[in-house]
Structure 1
Amino acid sequence: MGTRQLNMIKLLLLAVTLAEICAAQNDMTLSVFTVTSKTMTLQWSGSSEASSYKITITPKFSSKPPVLVHFGGNTKMASIISLSPSTVYTVSLEAMDNGLNAIGTAQTEGITAPEIPSIIQAYSKKSDSITVEFTEPTLEFAFERQWSPSAISYLLRAEKEDFFLEVPVSESPGTIIGLEPYTDYTISVMSVNSGGRSQPSYPVEVKTGTIKSVGVDNS
């Protein structure tokens, strides 16, 4: 076999290898599974050739440094912690082989949930409802130096041993109706944006049909 034929075979093998790498890159997907105020759970379709994955998560509209994390080749879902509330992140995924060469990539964007609200007070003036006053998290726009609500809505939750009910409201105060009379409920509130919901606030105990106000001691 001549030199020319050997070179042609090498070029053919190289083309096949590049095609396989491109196919692996095109086949990989990355998405945001769920978020909280400070975490983002990601899921992805991996590469069979990957020995590890590197995730880079970067605030899109902030000068804060990116967060880099590594996971093993069998991992297809992971949570990134210690993020900022109500923040848009660009997420990049790289599949790495044993030589730490990138053999596949994928990218997506996601926004963390707003800050966790706090209950100011909760009370029941009617036997079938509970009204909740709570803080509304805000977000500063850096260029305008103005503050604006970071949540688009809120979820009020009433629960007892064998029951729970979540009611969406647009602002504070909000009222949960359709409850059982003279019954003790655990009340909490969550803030919501396009990314998802925050963790529940610190809860309070309220009994329907009692006017007594119950607040949270944050001292």
Structure 2
Amino acid sequence: MLSLNLTKEQLLDTPQRMLDRQDQDELALSRREHRQESDGRRHTQARDEARERYAIEIIPLAQHDDYAKLAAKHLDIGTRRAKLDREQTDTVTAIARGMASFNKNRIEHQAQSIIDGSVEAFQGFEEMKSRSARLESEVKAHSQALRMLRDQMDSIKSDRSIDVAEAVRPAHALAVADISEACAMLLKAIRDEALIREIVTNAGYDSRLPTFQGIKDIAELESRARDYAR
């Protein structure tokens, strides 16, 4: 609640400040989304460059005919299950909300039909309950079908993954060799950095040099070292 001690000018300025905060929030959100998009593009570009550099050519799993057919069935059945699930939810909701009044109106209508000599079959909530049970059964059957399809898809994916792993193993081995070489160079540089600081302290001086020992995150280590070397 606004204080009664606010001046007229402050009261008039309050909506503008609220708008300014909204603008700032929208600007911050826009910048965050832009950074995420930029990071995503850079990552995609780096992945494409790695694929080209190591001459990796693999067919996406979704483009294999057997997997694609199962995936299409999975999508179709999943869509139908979602529709059935919504129908069942609507039916159960209708039963819960209108059972008393619906039964009363239906009984009165059927009583009048008896009086008029045109007896109708007793229908109403029994039909809705039967419909709910049928929909529940169909949803369960569709869910089971989806699980069966997913098992088949996972089996194909597992088999294809073995083949793909063998296909890219030479390229992966080259990258791992680069990691090994880079780690060896990094360990040597870390030892040299520690020895230089030790030379200073062994000469009786305080070490006023930054330490890079104990940094476990490679990205942080690279960033701090780069900043210090500038």
TM-score by length of 1: 0.21
TM-score by length of 2: 0.20
- Greater fraction of residues in helix: 2
- Greater fraction of residues in strand: 1
